[in-house]
């Protein structure tokens, strides 16, 4: 019987252990053995200057999806901003609370507080890959945001569009717990823009080797474009639109 993504990730003991200790090593392992290192030490530290610059862009109440140990939630709370983190890991939620942030143990695909009223949703640290289905995740985020709300997503440092089954492991030889595999995606900026049909590009930037995209949801029920947006329409090839220009269908 297959294991749901939330259950598999939440019961991954290496992940919980790494968050409790604040250090790795920790990896996502594909079925072919390829390993993606996870930056546990950075996640468990305080928000760094790159994070701070992202948080400066946030609007209204902020929902941090896959908040991990809570550095961003804690920083926004310290600034006096309304913010909530969600994560399927009990260890992550507990760590966020110890830092002074508020978090719920919840999947983004489950019912959440304030649906349709969040000003900003964050998908940081590769969380644009949650669920392994970028279209479904973007559709869900659009329903969480208020009209014209802002999504800030951190994309992969390379141009990639990969969907796969992965496991959380804590050593290069692939030792795992019994949590099982779950679907995950890795997206570069061009891939994310291809999937972002119906969104408007509000910005993209690189800082200290990390890449980010800001997308704005439709501003009204009739789908009118927000004043400063540039349309993002699905495309079959990977390319990044020039500022102020749409990505056209082929």
The three-point CA angle 36-195-29 to 5° equals 15
Cβ contacts of 180 within 8 Å, gap of 6 or more = 2, 3, 7, 8, 167
What pLDDT is stored for residue 149 in this prediction?
98
The domain that holds 76 is classified in CATH as 3.40.50.150
Per the domain annotation, does 175 fall within a domain?
no
pLDDT reported for residue 174: 58
pLDDT value of residue 176: 55
- Of 141, 148, 151, 146, the residue nearest 109 (C-alpha): 141
Structure confidence at residue 246 (pLDDT): 33
| Ranges of residues in the chain whose predicted pLDDT is under 50 | 1-3, 8, 178, 220-250
Position 198 in a domain: yes
How many Cβ atoms are within 10 Å of 32's Cβ, its own excluded?
Answer: 6
Q: What is the pLDDT of residue 49?
A: 98
Q: What is the DSSP letter of 108?
A: T
How far apart are the C-alpha atoms of 67 and 179, rounded to whole Å? Answer: 20
Number of domains into which the chain is organized: 1
Which residue range(s) make up the domain with 85? 47-164+183-232
Residue 142 placed within a domain: yes
pTM higher than 0.75: yes
User: CB under 8 Å to 227, separation ≥6 — which residues?
Assistant: none
β-strand 103-105 against 62-65: which pairing, if any? Answer: unpaired
Q: How far apart are CA 113 and CA 10, in angstroms?
A: 20
The answer to whether position 93 is within a domain reads yes
CA angle in degrees (0–180, nearest 5) for 125-128-131: 120
Q: Is the dihedral of CA 40, 41, 42, 46 positive or negative?
A: positive
Asked if residue 227 belongs to a domain, the reply is yes
Q: What is the pLDDT of residue 6?
A: 52
Share of the chain above pLDDT 90, in %: 71
Exposure string for 176-211, b = 16+ CB within 10 A, e = fewer: bbebbbbbbbbbbbbbbbbbbbebbbbebeeeeebb
Residue 87 domain-assigned (yes or no): yes
243 found inside a domain:
no
Q: Please, are residues 175 and 149 in contact by the beta-carbon 8 Å criterion? A: no
In a domain? residue 91: yes
CA distances 198 to 133, 187, 229, 244, 249, Å, are: 17, 18, 11, 15, 12
């Amino acid at each position: 019987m297959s294991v749901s993504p939330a259950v598999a990730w939440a019961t991954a003991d290496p992940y919980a252990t790494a968050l409790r200790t604040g250090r790795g090593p920790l990896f996502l392992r594909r079925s072919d053995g390829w390993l993606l290192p996870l930056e546990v030490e950075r996640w468990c530290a305080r928000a760094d200057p790159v994070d701070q610059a992202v948080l400066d862009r946030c609007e209204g109440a902020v929902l941090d999806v896959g908040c991990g140990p809570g550095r961003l939630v804690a920083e926004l709370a310290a600034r006096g901003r309304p913010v909530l983190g969600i994560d399927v890991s009990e260890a992550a939620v507990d760590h966020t609370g110890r830092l002074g942030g508020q978090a719920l143990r919840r999947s983004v695909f489950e019912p959440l507080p304030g649906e349709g009223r969040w000003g900003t949703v964050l998908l940081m640290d590769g969380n644009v890959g949650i669920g392994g289905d970028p279209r479904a995740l973007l559709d869900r985020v659009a329903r969480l945001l208020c009209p014209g709300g802002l999504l800030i997503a951190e994309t992969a440092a390379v141009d990639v569009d990969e969907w796969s089954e992965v496991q959380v492991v804590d050593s290069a030889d692939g030792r795992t717990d019994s949590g099982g595999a779950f679907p995950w995606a890795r997206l570069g900026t061009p891939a994310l823009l291809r999937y972002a049909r119906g969104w408007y590009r509000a910005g993209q930037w690189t800082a200290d080797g990390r890449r980010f995209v800001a997308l704005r949801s439709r501003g009204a029920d009739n789908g009118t474009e927000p004043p400063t947006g540039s349309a993002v329409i699905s495309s079959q090839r990977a390319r990044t639109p020039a500022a102020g220009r749409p990505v056209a269908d082929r």
